[in-house]
Structure 1
């Protein structure tokens, strides 16, 4: 596929730096665990059952979407967004604890997915990777996250645009966050995905990778989430595990990353491979989501 432009952020952006780092894998696992603290999303995940019937495909397509929005050209990102919204439009039902009707495309749920995703990937970059961004880079990162949120159903005025606003958002939504039997099952399944008979080498790779990352993911959570999520002593293990995680991240060159992802998350590997391709785009410029939606922009294959 010929790259049309630099996408929404470009080569000098903190978004490219953070989302293409090896730590994004841990951040992604963290974000899909956090997703379950929203009861509506926990119900949507449980009712669709995708993580149980085909966990590799579900996780692969979700991470590939996030990485596409962060690093791909604008038209490709818009196409991925439109496809995902169609998929989410089918995810509706009744949340069994409250009795409310849920929709995976609801702005509040999409905002939770967006903020926890961008926050988790940055947090794990800070904990296990190169460390904090500079103050200017972090300000730009959160401004860029607002652009990415335009591809979801989030209300623009609700999207945090700074670290302070992210903290305020988490404080505001905490009273409605909770766990449940189905949420608990989903979180623990994603942290230590079982090997499914017949899934072969790929299934074994997914099961192994999830277990390798789980202690680091759990250690990055606030203490109250560890308690509500039932993670027990795993957080202490994760803190002891941190030097080993940092060493593994330092050793994870792009070639190593592609090798690991090729066996576990092939769609994500394809997005990363295109991102790492040094061939310049047809138009070496960044674009806005509105510009990427313009009829004149087409993905050339």
Structure 2
């Protein structure tokens, strides 16, 4: 980090405060659960990534992207964003219901992924006890419009407050479903394959992380996945 270039957000931002918290790992898993409920978005992942064989690598690459956008210089963040936008322009997927071929960089899909991530980060951090006022929560959602720009979205078309984010999720709910791809993501997150030596750690640590992430989902997501919500 340059002394004169504090990046896209800077040390006084809510983003810097939140993204340094270890609970972001649980928030990231919650985002995966939520993103998988959009059939076209999750199909794009399944067709264009090695999710099944390298899910850990994908998770770490996502963490690296978030970390770079949050804490790197503006130049490095812009370079990373440009690379992601190029990838989005090149990749396509097949709609699981209609057979239509579509680009994974469609604005509505990018918006879904962005909102699922930003909402997951904020919800988990607030529910885990990070002291954020309502004004700071709104400020975080507004700051994350800069991250949305990095993946190719027009910031003016992205929710800027928690109320706008809530309205977005209300509007998109009829499009959500726990189809075969979402079930596969769910199965993986609950019981990911690991080397034999790591099986005890999976039972001790990972399943608790996945359970916390799942439990923090909104009620409609629990209904779609077909497992009861926690008290």
8 Å CA contact 2:118, 2:144 repeated in 1: yes
User: C-alpha distance in 2, partners of 1:22/1:142?
Assistant: 19
Aligned twin of 2:67: 67
Corresponding residue for 2:51? Answer: 51
Contact 1:20 1:67 in 2 (8 A): no
Q: Which runs of 5+ in 1 are unaligned?
A: 240-301
Choose 1 or 2 for highest CA Rg: 1
Other-structure match for 2:219: 223
d(CA) in 2 for partners of 1:4 and 1:40?
41
Q: Who is 1:190 aligned against?
A: 189
Could you give the per-residue CA deviations for residues 80-132 of structure 1, whole angstroms, max 9, x where no partner exists? Answer: 1122223333431211213222322111111111111111011100111324x
> Residue 36 of structure 1 aligns with which residue?
36
CA distance in structure 2 between the aligned counterparts of 1:106 and 1:87, rounded to whole angstroms: 12
Unaligned runs of 5+ in 2: none
CA distance in 1, matches of 2:2, 2:17: 22
Aligned equivalents of 2:77 and 2:156: distance in 1? 22
d(CA) in 2 for partners of 1:6, 1:205:
37
User: Which stretch shifts more, 105-114 or 88-97?
Assistant: 88-97
Q: Please, which of 204, 213, 217 is the counterpart of residue 209 of structure 2?
A: 213
- Say what the alpha-carbon RMSD is for the aligned residues: 2.3
Q: Distance in 1 between matches of 2:110 and 2:138?
A: 22
1:128/1:36 CA distance change after superposition, 3 Å: same
Query: 1:146 touches 1:161 (CA, 8 Å); kept in 2?
Result: yes
TM-score by length of 2: 0.89
Q: How many residues align?
A: 231
**Which is bigger in relative contact order (C-alpha 8 A, separation at least 6)?**
1
Whether the 8 Å CA contact 2:122–2:137 is kept in 1: the answer is no
